[in-house]
Chain A
Amino acid sequence: MIVWNAVQQTLRQVRRNPMRSALTTLGILIGVAAVIAMIALGRGAAARVNQDLAGLGQNLLFVVPGTPGQGGPGAAASVRSLDVADAAAIAREVDGLAGVAPLVSRGGVAVYGGASWRTSITGSSGDYLTVLKWKLARGRAFSEAELRVGAPVCVLGHTVHRELFGAVDPVGATIRVGSVSFRVVGVFAAKGSSSFGQDQDDFIYVPLATHQRRITGSREVAMIFLSAADPDASGRIKTDVEAVMRTQRRLQPTDTPDFFVRDMKEAASMVGSITSVLTSLLAAIAAISLVVGGIGIMNIMLVAVSERTREIGIRLAIGARGRDVLAQFLIEAIALAALGGIAGITLGLGLSLVATSQLGLPLEIDAVLVLLPFGFSAAVGVIFGFFPARKAARMNPIDALRRE
C-alpha cells in the first residue's frame, strides 16, 4: 500500500514537471530503444543469412586456397591457388558428388550497341547451374561441345540483361567484353541481393575454358564448388576431398594444409558467430547509453531530494521511518526509469519494424527482447535511485523541516 502511494506520488511529480520528467527519461528511452533495435537487426541479419545459406542447400561444399591462421579464406594473394586439374581430380576420385564447379571471375565492361555495363565475368563448368542452383529465365545453358572447346558464348545475369538490353530479348545477340565477342544463349532468373547487400544477378557466365583462354590466360581458379548427392554424406566427402587435395598439392602428412574445404554448416556457424559478435558489440554500445540515462535519473533524483527536503521533514515528523522515505524515492526512480523503458520499448520496436523492412530482413521479436531491456531499465532505476533515496532517508527531521 505504501508502494501504491509512492507510485501515485511519482505520477503526480511527472504531471507537475512534464518537461523535466521527459528529459530525465529520455536517456533511458534512447538506451532501451537502441538495445532493442540493435538486437532485432542483428537477429534479422542472422536469420536472413541462414535463409540464404539454406537456399544454397545443405549439400554444398567449397574448396578455397589459404592456410589456417593466415587470414583464412580470401586472403589468398600469397597462397598457391587452385587450378582446373584440382577440380578434375576431385571429380574423378571422390564418390557421391552431384556436381563440381570450379569458378574464376574477372571484372570487365560489357558492351552492346550503345550501352555498356561494368560487371564481372564468371567462368565455370556446366555443373555451375545445378551446384549453385541457378535457373534459366530464357534460352539455354551451354552444350558439352561449347564447354569443351571454349566457345564464345555466355548466359547473362538478370541485372546485366536489364542494363544492356532493357526489355529486349537478348538471346542470339552478340555482346563484347574487351576485345572478345560473346553470343548470348540464355538469361538467368533473378536471385536478388544477398544478405550482405550484393547484387547476385550482376554477372556474365561463360564456359571455364573460354574464360581461361580469352580472359585470364591461366589455368588458375579462385574456388571450387562441390555438390554432394546426399547431404548427410557431406562429412565423408569433405574428408575425401581433403585427401585428394593433399595429393594434388604434394603435401606431406605432417604439413599444414594450404587450402580449406568447407561445408554449409560450417559456413552458417561462421556467419552466425560473426553476426552474434557484431550484435553483442552494438548492444554493448547501446547499453552504455542506458547507463548514461541512469546517471540522468540519479541527477534529477538528487535535485528532487533537495527540492523536497521540507516534504521529507514532514513525512519523518508524522511517523515515516528512514526506510519508508527510502522506499518512496527509490520507487520514484524506478517508476521514472520504467516509464522511459516502456517508451523506449515502443520506440525500439517501431525502429526495428522500419529498419528491418527497409533492409528486407525478417523481423524476429520475442518476449525476451522486450522484457530484458525493460528489466534492465528498472534495474538502472534501482541502482541510480538508491544513492539519492538514501540521502533522503538519512535526513534529520529537524534540519529537514527548517530548510526553506
Chain B
Amino acid sequence: MAPLLALDGVTKIYGRGEAAVAALAGIDLEIAAGEFVALMGPSGSGKSTCLNILGCLDVPTAGEYRFRGVAVSRLDRDQLALLRRHYLGFVFQGFNLLPRTSALENVELPLVYRGVGGRERRRRARAALAAVGLEGRERHTPAQLSGGQQQRVAIARALVTDPAVVLADEPTGNVDSARAHELMALLVGLNRERGITIVMVTHEADMAAYAGRVLTFHDGTIVGDERQAPQGAAA
C-alpha cells in the first residue's frame, strides 16, 4: 500500500537566475498514516517550505509529491483546494482565526465549504470545541480569548472535518510553555485516539519530544530521521 504522503526528489527554488535560492534541494520522504512527525531545524532550513508542500499550499519546482498515491503536481489550483478541503487540516503559529468572528463560526468555516447544512455544522463545531476543552466559549471572539485558547479554536477548526492529516506550523510558538504542553497533549490525543496523521514544524526540542518521529532539516535537505518513543506514551 502506498504511504499516505510521499516526497520524491522534491526541490523548491525561490527566485530566478543569480537570485535563485533552493529552499528544498531534493527531498525524499515517506510518511505513513497515523504517524506523528516533527520537522526540526534552524530558520531557513526548509522545514516550513516542506510543510507547505505537504499541505498543498505550495507546489514543488521539481520532483513529485504523492498524496495517497496521487501525483499532486498534476492538480490545478481548484483541485488542490478540494484536496485541502477534504483531507487536510491546518494549525498555524499565528492562529489565523477570522477576527471579530465567534469561535463557533470560525470552527464552522471549513464545513461551510464542504456544503454541510447549518444545523449539522453547529452540532459538529460544538463537538469539536468541546473536544479541545472550550465548551461554553462558543460565542467568544478571538480577541476575547487567550493565546492558548485561540490555538485550541484553531485545532478545533482543523479537526472538525475529520481530516486525514493535520499540518501544524509551530503551533506552540506564540503561547507560554505551560499552555504549549497542554496543546501538545491535545495533538497527541488526536493522533492516538482519532488516528489523525500529524506533521508539525517546531524548533523546540521539548515539543518535538511528543512526536514519534523527528526529521531534522539543514540547508534544504533532511540530515536526520529518528524514530523515538514519544513523550507521554507511558502516561
Tell me the A residues contacting B by CB distance below 8 Å: 1-2, 5, 12, 16, 310-311, 313-324, 397-398, 401
Looking at the complex, which of B90-98, B143-151, B213-221 is the stretch in contact with chain A?
B90-98
Whether B176 is near chain A, meaning CB under 8 Å from some CB there, is no
Give the distance to chain B from A322, nearest Cβ to Cβ, in Å.
Answer: 6
A250 to B90, CA, bound (A): 98
A315 to B101, CA, bound (A): 13
Q: Indicate with 1 or 0, residue by residue over B51-93, a CB within 8 angstroms of chain A CB atoms.
A: 0100101100000000000000000011001101110111010
Give the distance to chain A from B88, nearest Cβ to Cβ, in Å.
Answer: 8
A314 to B101, CA, bound (A): 13
The one of A319, A398, A401 that contacts B96, using a Cβ cutoff of 8 Å = A401
- Report A-chain residues with C-beta under 8 Å of the C-beta of B78: 321-323
- Report A-chain residues with C-beta under 8 Å of the C-beta of B157: 318
B100 and A16 contacting across the interface, CB-CB below 8 Å: yes
A263 to B172, CA, bound (A): 90
The one of B52, B100, B110 that contacts A318, using a Cβ cutoff of 8 Å = B110
Tell me the B residues contacting A by CB distance below 8 Å: 52, 55, 57-58, 77-78, 81-82, 84-86, 88-90, 92, 96-101, 109-110, 112-115, 117-118, 157, 161
Give the distance to chain A from B57, nearest Cβ to Cβ, in Å.
Answer: 5
A317 and B84 contacting across the interface, CB-CB below 8 Å: yes
- Report A-chain residues with C-beta under 8 Å of the C-beta of B92: 401
- Report A-chain residues with C-beta under 8 Å of the C-beta of B85: 318-320
Give the distance to chain A from B162, nearest Cβ to Cβ, in Å.
Answer: 13
A310 to B92, CA, bound (A): 12
B57 and A319 contacting across the interface, CB-CB below 8 Å: no
- Report B-chain residues with C-beta under 8 Å of the C-beta of A322: 77-78, 81
A278 to B232, CA, bound (A): 84
The one of B77, B88, B115 that contacts A321, using a Cβ cutoff of 8 Å = B77
The one of A5, A310, A321 that contacts B82, using a Cβ cutoff of 8 Å = A321
- Report B-chain residues with C-beta under 8 Å of the C-beta of A398: 52, 57-58
Please give 6 more A-B residue pairs, beta carbons under 8 A apart, in addition to A315-B113, A318-B113, A398-B58. A1-B117, A310-B96, A319-B161, A322-B78, A322-B81, A401-B96
- Report A-chain residues with C-beta under 8 Å of the C-beta of B84: 317-319
Summarize A's interface: helix, strand, loop or mixed.
helix
The one of B57, B77, B112 that contacts A1, using a Cβ cutoff of 8 Å = B112
Give the distance to chain B from A302, nearest Cβ to Cβ, in Å.
Answer: 20
A316 to B80, CA, bound (A): 10
- Report B-chain residues with C-beta under 8 Å of the C-beta of A320: 81, 85, 113
Which residue of A is nearest B95, CB measured? A314
- Report B-chain residues with C-beta under 8 Å of the C-beta of A2: 112-113, 115
B58 and A317 contacting across the interface, CB-CB below 8 Å: no
A70 to B117, CA, bound (A): 73
- Report A-chain residues with C-beta under 8 Å of the C-beta of B86: 319
